[in-house]
């Protein structure tokens, strides 16, 4: 039954790819990448309570990694992809080990430093990274003999979201997810219950950063161009806001937040210009103050209220 | 049946700057024994618990669990060896249901790694089902079955005390540390709690108990260690303790009355 | 050698700015455990408020009323910091929310401030006049722009004042008591809400002042906050999050490493931008408590 539901959702989301065209396709594809990133970030920050600013840097490592390995160094695509993902895991592990040893906000600082360091390296990488201009003019090679172009690449992105969601739901509903929530709530008590707090944090950080890398690698072939600003701090704030507004710790909330906040500027910018960013800021403050469970919490309450009447 | 004690505390000392909270404290606890730690406010009882549980590192002395030194070990490893505890102040995981709270207690027994979980191994699900079943039994055992799915923040203080116990028991402890479990409970709840603790000990679990309520404690404890200003001033059966002049001196006034009244057939 | 002495003055001046930013973090962080990333935007706001004040006054002669600009920055930013605490932080603390909640709310505040600055002042940099013009000054062997000496003088006086506040006044002791143990401090009768409000007002005022002092070099610009925010917490981690003097020390070390490295290391200038981050990561790895350890709880 559940498998059918997954299949139906994947097919529906894929069909949409064939119905859209032109600009709408581009918007839809980027939205899918945002959803994938929001899902993994939601686990890290919403479920496990780690405030990190490195999600886009790891997406960048994945994107630059795969493009450089495949198109600059000429490795076979499968090897390049595996290499980029492995690099993400390794770097994430290296960042996580020292920073989870310290009080909570050190992770924010360490990951912010890492994110900025990544930008400097990319900007100064010369020919290898393309500097401030980035890299363009490459194409996704055939994968196992398949040419994935046009709507078919959008289907790849749909599968990326499905895979990310599947992995994270499985984790969240397991004892591991429970341990993460316990640590978020009270690490000292969690430790007294036999949970290895640091180990759990390091695993969570490494895993979600690796998923970010995967999303980044997928993003690299959306426009077949990558450049540094995409992986900068502005986007990480937006990602954070998506989750706060949508509902921290809830995959459905993260997805909802990603869709709304990604699409909102298309509606708002023509009307209020850049002021929509102020609006986002206000929305975040209001959400934290008055609706900490986010939009998904509101929807839950609404459903609760409607539920009994329908049943009656 | 004189095996080695399950817990052995020797020369335990803890200093906070100039303050000596626990000084040269030694005692043993056998399997299945209920040992009470009593003393006036600030005597160092909670500090002793924190030292045993690994939250604090001793300034001197050592602690062994089943012959293995545990002082200086990280908290989660000590818990992993079967030392579970409750807290003097209720410490539920606020964002979770009652059942999930109790399940957290079972964590030390679960073997599923992240990879096992991601691979969807069948033993992961079996383990989880077992843990859930046991959590359900424990919730019944402490009498909270009406609140299974409830948000723990809606529990009363007394119900919160019971949750602490259920959560600690979920780890199938060899030693359980109970810090003032009876505080805030009604008389009826207290007598149920006594029966509960007797059953826990009867299963071979060592119970270390800190409590101010002597009516509850004295009939229950197999042995009592009395602390005052961090030092052990007396140790023995409940009956001997209440007659001890040093203890009487430490518990002046009202508390001394309670001490006398609470003693079994004194 | 002259070259080195000139570099010393310039590094001292930058280090003072970083030190002020670190101090702004510290004043908020110590009693509340809240790392307030909005502080960078508050320094940008300080720069705009100061420049705004100057341009409505005796532009283009600045010597006289500069003190008014300083007062305006301290007052306006103090009020803004206080208001932000009242509106966003206090309700969360009162509700008993986890410490991450105010940190996140302050990220929202960060974006509100930054985007409001572009709405109010536009996206173009606003030139900021130095109080003593663009004169060069020589003191003994040391030479530099007048603004650099001004920055050093103001920063050192401010650090002296803040140090005296923490060491010598009842309020300063209250701060320290709250930092060591909130519950115990509350039991001692210290008003936690008031300490928190004062911390935000003070932190904002210090950040604003740093922005004003910095602005003649960079112009007042809505993008000036982020680098300052990052340099500030790098200085904070280097110096140690516990003590006022650590903030200044951390700022100076960071600035000297940056400038000496840029000057004497044979690497492309773009890569020198990586120094603060590399330094920060190095400290987090090797000496997370910073150079000057905080006081132990007694
Ligand atoms: N972390 C700490 N830092 C400094 N002093 C502490 C600390 N923990 C406990 N103390 C002090 O150590 C002494 C013993 O405290 P402890 O909490 O162990 O007492 P207790 O016997 O549990 O008292 P109560 O019956 O009130 O719970 C007290 O004077 C207390 O103030
Ligand atoms: Mg106690």
In this structure, which residue's CA is closest to atom 30 in ligand 1? B42
Atom of ligand 1 nearest to the CA of B45: 21
Report CB contact under 8 Å: A282, C108. Answer: yes
Whether B257 shows a pLDDT value over 60: the answer reads: no
Contacts of B105 in chain A (CB under 8 A): 193
The last residue of one of the domains, among B172, B191, B220, is B172
In this structure, which residue's CA is closest to atom 1 in ligand 1? B16
Whether B208 shows a pLDDT value over 50: the answer reads: yes
Fold of C2-297: ABC transporter involved in vitamin B12 uptake, BtuC (1.10.3470)
Q: What are phi and psi of C186, to 5 degrees?
A: -65, -40
CATH number of the domain within which B15 lies: 3.40.50.300
Distance from CA of C188 to the nearest CA of B (A): 18
Are residue B117 and residue B183 in the same domain, yes or no? no
Report CB contact under 8 Å: A284, C237. Answer: no
Q: What are phi and psi of B63, to 5 degrees?
A: -130, 130
CA nearest A119 in C: which residue? C274
Higher pLDDT, C121 or A310: C121
Distance from CA of B216 to the nearest CA of A (A): 26
Question: Does any ligand 1 atom lie closer than 6 A to the CB of residue B46?
Answer: yes
Atom of ligand 1 nearest to the CA of B47: 18
Nearest ligand, measured from the Cα of B179? 2
Average pLDDT over residues C46-59: 80
Pick from A77-86, A96-105, C65-74: least confident: A96-105
Reduce the DSSP state of residue B144 to 3 states and report it: coil
Q: Which long-range contacts does A149-152 make (Cβ < 8 Å, 24+ apart)? A: A151/A14, A151/A17, A151/A18, A151/A25
Are residue B57 and residue B122 in the same domain, yes or no? no
Taking a contact as any Cβ pair under 8 Å apart, which residues of chain A between 193 and 212 contact chain C?
Answer: none
Please check whether residue B87 lies inside any domain of the structure: no
Reduce the DSSP state of residue C118 to 3 states and report it: helix
Atom of ligand 1 nearest to the CA of B22: 14
Whether B1 shows a pLDDT value over 60: the answer reads: no
Nearest ligand, measured from the Cα of B57? 1
- C92 lies within 8 A of chain A by CB: yes
**Of A167, A174, A207, which is closest to B124 when you measure between CB atoms?**
A174
State the count of interchain CB pairs (< 8 A) between B and C. Answer: 6
**CB-based burial label for B123 (10 Å; 0-12, 13-18, 19+):** exposed
Tally of CB atoms within 10 A around B38: 26
Please check whether residue B147 lies inside any domain of the structure: yes
The last residue of one of the domains, among B131, B154, B172, is B172
Q: Please give the radius of gyration of chain A, using alpha carbons only, rounded to the nearest integer.
A: 20
Decide if B89 contacts B181 (C-beta within 8 A): no
pLDDT (0 to 100) of residue C7: 84
pLDDT digits (tens, 9 = 90+) for B123-136: 999 999 999 999 99
**Of A98, A117, A278, which is closest to C119 when you measure between CB atoms?**
A278
Residues C106 and C109: their CA atoms lie apart, in Å, by: 5
Whether C57 shows a pLDDT value over 70: the answer reads: no
Question: Does any ligand 1 atom lie closer than 6 A to the CB of residue B55?
Answer: no
First-to-last C-alpha distance (Å) of chain A: 26
- The partner residues of A225 in beta bridges, in order of sequence, read A136
Nearest ligand, measured from the Cα of B15? 1
- B94 lies within 8 A of chain C by CB: no
Are residue B178 and residue B259 in the same domain, yes or no? yes
pLDDT digits (tens, 9 = 90+) for B219-256: 999 999 999 999 999 898 888 888 888 887 777 554 55
Report CB contact under 8 Å: A181, B93. Answer: yes
The fraction of chain B above a pLDDT of 90, given in percent, is 70
pLDDT band at B165 (very low <50, low <70, confident <90, very high): very high
Whether A244 shows a pLDDT value over 90: the answer reads: yes
Average pLDDT over residues B65-79: 94
Are residue B62 and residue B99 in the same domain, yes or no? no
Are residue B50 and residue B3 in the same domain, yes or no? yes
Domain ranges of chain A: 2-230, 232-312
pLDDT band at C197 (very low <50, low <70, confident <90, very high): very high
pLDDT digits (tens, 9 = 90+) for B142-157: 999 889 888 898 898 8
Average pLDDT over residues C247-266: 90
How many angstroms is it from B227 CA to the middle of ligand 2? 12
Atom of ligand 1 nearest to the CA of B212: 25
pLDDT band at A148 (very low <50, low <70, confident <90, very high): confident
Q: How many residues does chain C have?
A: 298
**Of A189, A195, A197, which is closest to B91 when you measure between CB atoms?**
A189
Q: At CB < 8 Å, which residues of chain C contact B?
A: 296-298
Mean predicted lDDT score pLDDT of chain B: 89
Are residue B15 and residue B139 in the same domain, yes or no? no
Phi-psi map region of B32: left, alpha, beta (phi>0 left; psi -120 to 50 alpha): left
Question: Does any ligand 1 atom lie closer than 6 A to the CB of residue B219?
Answer: no
Average pLDDT over residues C137-148: 82
In this structure, which residue's CA is closest to atom 19 in ligand 1? B42
Contacts of C101 in chain B (CB under 8 A): none
Are residue B180 and residue B225 in the same domain, yes or no? yes
Average pLDDT over residues C178-202: 86
pLDDT digits (tens, 9 = 90+) for B170-194: 999 999 999 999 988 889 889 999 9
- Residue B7 host element (H or E): strand B7-16
Average pLDDT over residues B85-91: 93
**CB-based burial label for C266 (10 Å; 0-12, 13-18, 19+):** exposed
Whether A309 shows a pLDDT value over 70: the answer reads: no
**Of C98, C110, C281, which is closest to A110 when you measure between CB atoms?**
C281
The last residue of one of the domains, among B146, B172, B198, is B172
pLDDT (0 to 100) of residue B204: 93
Report CB contact under 8 Å: C119, A274. Answer: yes
Question: Does any ligand 1 atom lie closer than 6 A to the CB of residue B106?
Answer: no
The fraction of chain A above a pLDDT of 70, given in percent, is 98
Atom of ligand 1 nearest to the CA of B180: 27
pLDDT band at C207 (very low <50, low <70, confident <90, very high): very high
Question: Does any ligand 1 atom lie closer than 6 A to the CB of residue B39?
Answer: yes
DSSP state of C126: B
**Of A174, A182, A193, which is closest to B117 when you measure between CB atoms?**
A174
- B17 lies within 8 A of chain C by CB: yes
pLDDT digits (tens, 9 = 90+) for A152-211: 899 999 999 999 999 999 999 999 999 999 999 999 999 999 999 999 999 999 999 999
- The partner residues of A283 in beta bridges, in order of sequence, read none
CA nearest C296 in B: which residue? B17
Please check whether residue B220 lies inside any domain of the structure: yes
pLDDT (0 to 100) of residue B263: 53
The residue segments making up the domain with residue B104 are 95-172
- C55 lies within 8 A of chain A by CB: no
pLDDT band at A140 (very low <50, low <70, confident <90, very high): confident
Question: Does any ligand 1 atom lie closer than 6 A to the CB of residue B238?
Answer: no
**Of A171, A193, A203, which is closest to B104 when you measure between CB atoms?**
A193
Domain ranges of chain C: 2-297
Nearest ligand, measured from the Cα of B44? 1
pLDDT (0 to 100) of residue A35: 97
pLDDT (0 to 100) of residue C41: 96
pLDDT digits (tens, 9 = 90+) for A245-255: 999 999 999 99
Contacts of C298 in chain B (CB under 8 A): 16-18
- Residue B67 host element (H or E): none
Ligand 2 ion: nearby residues, β-carbon < 5 Å = B 46, 88
- Total domains in the fold of chain B: 2
Contacts of A197 in chain B (CB under 8 A): 76
Contact partners for chain B, using 3 or more CB pairs closer than 8 A, are: A, C
How many angstroms is it from B167 CA to the middle of ligand 2? 20
Report CB contact under 8 Å: A170, B53. Answer: no
pLDDT digits (tens, 9 = 90+) for A280-305: 999 999 999 999 999 999 999 988 88
Mean predicted lDDT score pLDDT of chain C: 87
Question: Does any ligand 1 atom lie closer than 6 A to the CB of residue B6?
Answer: no
Query: CA B234, B238, B244 angle in degrees (round to 5)?
Result: 40
Distance from CA of A278 to the nearest CA of B (A): 30
Q: Parallel, antiparallel, or unpaired: how do β-strands B7-16 and B60-65 relate?
A: antiparallel
- Contacts of residue A270, defined as CB under 8 A and 6 or more positions apart, other chains included, come to none
Residues C103 and A103: their CA atoms lie apart, in Å, by: 14
Please check whether residue B114 lies inside any domain of the structure: yes
Give yes or no for a cis peptide into C60 (omega within 30° of 0).
yes
If one residue of B36, B39, B47 were mutated to test the ligand 1 pocket, choosing by the most ligand atoms within 8 A of its CB, it would be B47
pLDDT band at B83 (very low <50, low <70, confident <90, very high): very high
Average pLDDT over residues B37-54: 94
Whether B266 shows a pLDDT value over 70: the answer reads: no
pLDDT (0 to 100) of residue C295: 58
Residues C21 and C38: their CA atoms lie apart, in Å, by: 11
Distance from CA of A246 to the nearest CA of C (A): 14
Average pLDDT over residues C60-78: 80
Please check whether residue B88 lies inside any domain of the structure: no
Decide if C19 contacts C247 (C-beta within 8 A): yes
pLDDT (0 to 100) of residue C133: 78
């Amino acid at each position: 039954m559940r498998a059918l539901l997954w299949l139906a959702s994947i097919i529906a989301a894929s069909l949409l790819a064939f119905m859209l065209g032109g600009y709408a396709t581009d918007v839809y594809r980027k939205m899918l990448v945002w959803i994938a990133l929001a899902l993994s970030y939601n686990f890290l920050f919403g479920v496990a309570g780690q405030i990190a600013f490195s999600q886009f840097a790891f997406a960048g490592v994945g994107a630059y990694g795969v493009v450089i390995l495949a198109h600059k160094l000429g490795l076979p695509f499968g090897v390049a992809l595996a290499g980029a993902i492995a690099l993400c895991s390794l770097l994430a592990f290296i960042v996580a080990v020292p920073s989870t040893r310290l009080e909570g906000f050190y992770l924010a600082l360490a990951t912010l430093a890492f994110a900025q360091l990544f930008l400097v390296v990319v900007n100064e990488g010369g020919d290898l990274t393309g500097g401030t201009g980035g890299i363009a003019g490459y194409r996704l090679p055939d994968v196992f003999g398949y040419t994935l172009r046009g709507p078919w690449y959008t289907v790849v992105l749909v599968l990326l979201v499905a895979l990310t969601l599947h992995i994270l739901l499985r984790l969240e509903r397991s004892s591991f997810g429970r341990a993460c929530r316990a640590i978020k709530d009270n690490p000292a008590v969690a430790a007294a219950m036999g949970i290895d707090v640091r180990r759990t944090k390091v695993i969570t950080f490494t895993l979600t950063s690796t998923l970010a890398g995967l999303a980044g690698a997928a993003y690299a072939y959306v426009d077949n161009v990558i450049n540094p600003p995409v992986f900068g701090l502005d986007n990480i704030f937006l990602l954070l806001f998506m989750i706060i507004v949508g509902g921290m710790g809830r995959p459905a909330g993260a997805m909802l937040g990603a869709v709304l906040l990604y699409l909102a500027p298309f509606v708002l910018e023509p009307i209020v210009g850049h002021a929509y960013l102020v609006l986002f800021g206000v929305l975040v403050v209001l959400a934290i103050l008055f609706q900490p469970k986010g939009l998904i919490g509101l929807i839950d309450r609404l459903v609760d209220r409607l539920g009994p009447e329908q049943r009656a | 049946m004189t095996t080695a004690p399950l817990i052995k505390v020797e020369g335990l000392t803890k200093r906070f700057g100039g303050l000596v909270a626990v000084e040269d404290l030694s005692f043993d606890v056998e399997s299945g024994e209920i040992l009470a730690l009593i003393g006036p406010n600030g005597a160092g009882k909670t500090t002793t618990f924190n030292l045993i549980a690994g939250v604090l590192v001793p300034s001197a002395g050592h602690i062994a669990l089943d012959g293995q030194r545990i002082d200086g070990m990280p908290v989660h490893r000590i818990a992993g060896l079967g030392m579970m505890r409750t807290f003097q102040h209720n410490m539920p995981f606020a964002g979770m249901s009652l059942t999930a709270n109790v399940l957290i207690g079972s964590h030390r027994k679960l073997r599923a790694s992240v990879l096992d979980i991601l691979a969807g191994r069948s033993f992961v699900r079996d383990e989880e089902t077992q843990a859930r079943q046991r959590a359900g039994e424990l919730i019944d055992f402490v009498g909270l079955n009406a609140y299974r799915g409830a948000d723990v923040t809606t529990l009363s203080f007394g119900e919160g005390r019971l949750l602490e116990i259920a959560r600690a028991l979920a780890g199938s402890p060899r030693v359980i540390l109970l810090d003032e479990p009876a505080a805030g409970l009604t008389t009826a709840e207290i007598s149920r709690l006594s029966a509960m603790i007797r059953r826990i000990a009867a299963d071979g679990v060592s119970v270390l108990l800190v409590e101010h309520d002597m009516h509850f404690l004295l009939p229950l404890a197999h042995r009592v260690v009395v602390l005052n200003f961090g030092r052990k001033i007396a140790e023995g059966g409940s009956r001997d303790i209440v007659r001890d002049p040093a203890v009487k001196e430490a518990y002046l006034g009202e508390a001394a009355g309670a001490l006398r009244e609470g003693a079994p057939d004194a | 050698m002259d070259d080195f002495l000139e570099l010393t003055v310039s590094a001292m001046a930058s280090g003072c700015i970083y030190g002020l930013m670190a101090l702004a973090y510290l004043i908020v962080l110590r009693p509340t455990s809240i790392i307030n990333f909005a502080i960078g935007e508050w320094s940008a706001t300080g720069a705009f408020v100061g420049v705004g004040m100057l341009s409505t006054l005796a532009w283009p002669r600045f010597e006289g009323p500069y003190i008014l600009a300083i007062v305006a920055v301290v007052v306006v930013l103090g009020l803004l910091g206080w208001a932000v605490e009242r509106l966003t932080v206090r309700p969360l603390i009162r509700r008993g929310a986890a410490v991450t909640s105010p940190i996140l709310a302050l990220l929202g505040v960060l974006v509100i401030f930054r985007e409001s600055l572009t709405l109010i002042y536009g996206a173009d940099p606003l030139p900021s006049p130095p109080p003593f013009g663009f004169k060069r000054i020589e003191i003994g062997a040391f030479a530099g722009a007048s603004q650099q000496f001004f920055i050093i003088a103001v920063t050192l006086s401010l650090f002296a004042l803040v140090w005296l506040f923490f060491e010598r006044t009842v309020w300063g002791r209250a701060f320290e008591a709250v930092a060591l143990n909130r519950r115990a401090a509350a039991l001692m009768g210290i008003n936690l809400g008031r300490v928190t409000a004062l911390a935000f007002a003070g932190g904002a005022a210090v950040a604003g002042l740093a922005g004003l002092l910095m602005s003649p070099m960079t112009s007042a610009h809505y993008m000036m906050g982020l680098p300052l925010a990052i340099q500030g917490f790098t200085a904070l981690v280097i110096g140690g999050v516990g003590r006022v003097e650590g903030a200044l020390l951390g700022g100076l070390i960071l600035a000297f490493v940056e400038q000496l490295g840029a000057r004497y290391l044979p690497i492309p200038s773009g890569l020198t931008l990586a120094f603060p981050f590399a330094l920060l990561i190095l400290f987090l790895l090797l000496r997370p408590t910073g150079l000057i350890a905080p006081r132990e709880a007694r």
